[in-house]
Structure 1
Amino acid sequence: MTCRRTSTIAAVALVCALGLLSAPGGAVAAPASGPLAAAPARPDEPEPEGRSLQEVREELDDLYHDAAVATDAYNAAEEKAKKQSDQIVELANKIQDLQAKRDRLKDQAGAAARAQYRSGGVPPQAQLVLSDDPEEFLDGAQRVRQGQHATTKMLAELATTEEDLQLYAKDAGDYWIELDRHTKDQAKRKKKIEAKIKAAEKLEKKLAKEERERLLQMERDAQAQAQTAWLDTGILKEINGKASAQGKKAIAFASKQIGKPYVWGAEGPGSYDCSGLTLRAWEAAGRSIPRTSQEQWKQLPRIKVNEMRPGDLIIYHADASHVGIYVGNGAIVHAPRPGRNVTVAGAGSMPILGVVRPDK
């Protein structure tokens, strides 16, 4: 089943890269039949509010791009929150251990005090002086020195333990305050993302069905033009890298997710955002990578575009706000945006910032 799925993806990718998307020239013509052919894109036709459909598309692109950037920030903050929570748990465990140690030391100090009380409060040194047995005196003197050393060490350890407890308690308190502030900030980030997506969805709903179909076709045409321009550079003749064993596993995982919906902040298994998909794909290949596209761009080894191989991650836009996994033949698998599903697309259908390799 896996082989059949992989072969299907390879075939789709090849069609995307060398068929429709590799046609010479600028725009790729719409199919001669079907609903989209009946409603060709007309950028100069005004939308009900007096704007052209092209202007609406540009606004939608801006809204979804802003949502993607905000999603990246949200995901990065979520990772930080997880680390903060882990640190709080670690501190809580240390505090618990230190409290047990402090209680044990206090019990020891109490036992020593009770022993001295039972001896009538006479210091051990005085008891030795009153002894008539020289051998007993010498043995006792040694025990006294050992006891004094142990008591001094115990008291010092108790003092250090108390200091550590106060320090860890303060750190834990600081982390809790920061985590609480962070939680409130996340709520604001979430509202910002949802507001952008809601505005885009509202804008699309204002369009008639035919206009939405033309809008979708305009989106496809723009991507096809960008892919064609990229392929016309002859880039595929230079890209000859073979996928690594881990890269093949990452591609196989990503390919199995095709058709699942994009949901911002999602990491699977039922839905993904762009970096959530690449994260899980490489996790399935046995490699841990950063959560967001921006951190993937910052932290992973960078590769020249003409040296990339299947399994590498292509980072898009100047702000590294999108990412897809290269599957070969000039195509990627990616989670596009809200309202779209995980799909195969041309690797050059969006502005490429660069390429990173998780398993270098």
Structure 2
Amino acid sequence: MSGKLLRLVCTAVLAAGAVLAPVPAVAVPEPGGGAAGPGSGSGERSVAELLTELQTLYREAEKATETYNATEERLKRQRAETERLERALARTRLSLRDSRGAAGLLARRQYQSVTGLSPYLRLLLARDPQRALDQGRVIGRLARERAETVGRLTGDEQEADALARRARKALDARLALTERRGKERDEVRERLRAVEELLASLTAGQLAALAELERGDTAEAQEELVASGALGSGGTPPSAAGERAVRYAVEQLGKPYEWGAEGPETYDCSGLTSEAWGAAGTPVPRTSQEQWARLERVPLDELRPGDLVVYFPEATHVALYLGDGMVVQAPRPGARIKVSPIAANPVLGAVRPDPDREPVRRYVPPELPDGAMDGPDGGYAPAAPETSIR
């Protein structure tokens, strides 16, 4: 399915108010892996076929990136949990040492005070029975303190054992996540290498034709989406936090895309949206898939600036709505943060990080710098992409 047809299908579905159905996977030969692979047969394929293949490769790379980002977030939380348990275990061990010291002191005092006479006999033989009773009360209090010390010692030992087990389990989970992150990082690198190999196999004329075809597809999809009425009037102003998120995103225009990056110099798609809303004082999940799953969804005809527009059936791309049918996005490796038509990619839906906040009474959209819309919305250019592999 070509990129144009994919966008038209998406637009038709949105106009009908339905959720985008899964798009059939496009079979893409491995780079260099056969007669149809890049470098051997790219010149025989149409520009539309090359665009479809390139879009598929970028989509696979972004899916892998979002999976990596999700694991990275889990690893951060697991690292914090491991450190918390280690601190708790250290405190418990210190308390256990103090309890053992107190128990030892009581044991020594008890040993030193043993006389072999029962309390009753000592009371009968005492010259001052009242004093003996007072001493008995003191002894009773010491006995209770001893019982409490022994109980505290036992409790500390049990807590220390339980914390030690939890700390070991947390460390094992952390190590497993670290290993998974490494594998997912390798998968992202492999996907991006496939993109680079395809781009390297194309001529300057083919790259220029690809960019022109994509611009035409995006413009047509945008026109149809606007004509369908799915976007509504678009006159609702943002909330105060949404306005701050929009201004943050606009300030990042021109900065490079880098997979897994959260700023301040480079971003991936969800890194930009999560940092924008974090700067606005409303933290949101790190990945596009979690943003789609956990934030409140809003119809496209109710969009207001600051809302997040999510793309593709797997929710693997996200942008921040600017207003008037435009979004701010970090498109793909090789591109820079830019303003794009909302229909630059197949729209899945939209979510709102602050659904309970009222719109501001007066909203003046931020002024866009020159060149804010320059560059390809699909993330590639007539020059080789400057992909950063970490």
Give the TM-score of the pair, scaled to structure 2.
0.77
For 1:262, the equivalent position in structure 2 comes to: 257
For 1:55, the equivalent position in structure 2 comes to: 49
Q: Which has the higher contact order (CA 8 A, sep 6+)?
A: 1
Letter in 1 for 2:69: N
Distance across 2 between alignment mates of 1:278 and 1:135: 79
Matched, 1:153 2:148: yes
Secondary structure of the corresponding residue to residue 228 of structure 2: coil
Distance across 2 between alignment mates of 1:247 and 1:283: 11
Distance across 2 between alignment mates of 1:164 and 1:69: 43
Secondary structure of the corresponding residue to residue 282 of structure 2: coil
Shift of 1:73: 1.2
Shift of 1:304: 1.1
Q: What 5-or-longer segments of structure 2 have no aligned partner?
A: 1-39, 356-390
Letter in 1 for 2:54: L
Matched, 1:309 2:281: no
Check the 8 A contact 2:255/2:337 in 1, yes or no.
yes
**Per the alignment, do residues 126 and 345 of structure 1 end up closer, same or farther by CA in structure 2, a change over 3 Å counting?**
same
Q: What 5-or-longer segments of structure 1 have no aligned partner?
A: 1-45
Counterpart among 306, 312, 317 of residue 322 in structure 1: 317
Shift of 1:189: 0.3
Check the 8 A contact 2:238/2:305 in 1, yes or no.
yes
For 1:65, the equivalent position in structure 2 comes to: 59
**Per the alignment, do residues 228 and 113 of structure 1 end up closer, same or farther by CA in structure 2, a change over 3 Å counting?**
same
For 2:158, the equivalent position in structure 1 comes to: 163
Shift of 1:121: 6.2
Matched, 1:112 2:106: yes
**Per the alignment, do residues 333 and 134 of structure 1 end up closer, same or farther by CA in structure 2, a change over 3 Å counting?**
same
Shift of 1:199: 0.6
Letter in 2 for 1:115: R
**Per the alignment, do residues 212 and 102 of structure 1 end up closer, same or farther by CA in structure 2, a change over 3 Å counting?**
same
For 2:80, the equivalent position in structure 1 comes to: 86
Check the 8 A contact 2:232/2:302 in 1, yes or no.
no
Shift of 1:143: 1.3
Distance across 1 between alignment mates of 2:130 and 2:305: 85
Matched, 1:191 2:186: yes
**Higher helix fraction (1 or 2):** 1
Give aligned-pair identity as a percent. 36
For 1:271, the equivalent position in structure 2 comes to: 266
Letter in 2 for 1:243: P
Shift of 1:246: 1.2
Counterpart among 340, 344, 348 of residue 335 in structure 2: 340
1:165-207 deviations in whole A, cap 9, x for unaligned?
0111011101111111111111110010110011111110111
Secondary structure of the corresponding residue to residue 44 of structure 2: coil
Shift of 1:325: 0.6
Check the 8 A contact 2:297/2:352 in 1, yes or no.
yes
Distance across 2 between alignment mates of 1:108 and 1:237: 74
For 1:354, the equivalent position in structure 2 comes to: 349
Distance across 2 between alignment mates of 1:255 and 1:124: 86
Count of aligned pairs between the two proteins: 315
1:43-95 deviations in whole A, cap 9, x for unaligned?
xxx96453223222211111111111111111111111111111111111111
Shift of 1:147: 1.4
Check the 8 A contact 2:271/2:287 in 1, yes or no.
yes
Check the 8 A contact 1:243/1:311 in 2, yes or no.
yes
Matched, 1:102 2:96: yes
Most deviating of 108-117 and 200-209 = 108-117
Check the 8 A contact 1:309/1:326 in 2, yes or no.
yes
Give the TM-score of the pair, scaled to structure 1.
0.83
Check the 8 A contact 1:76/1:291 in 2, yes or no.
yes
Check the 8 A contact 1:226/1:350 in 2, yes or no.
no
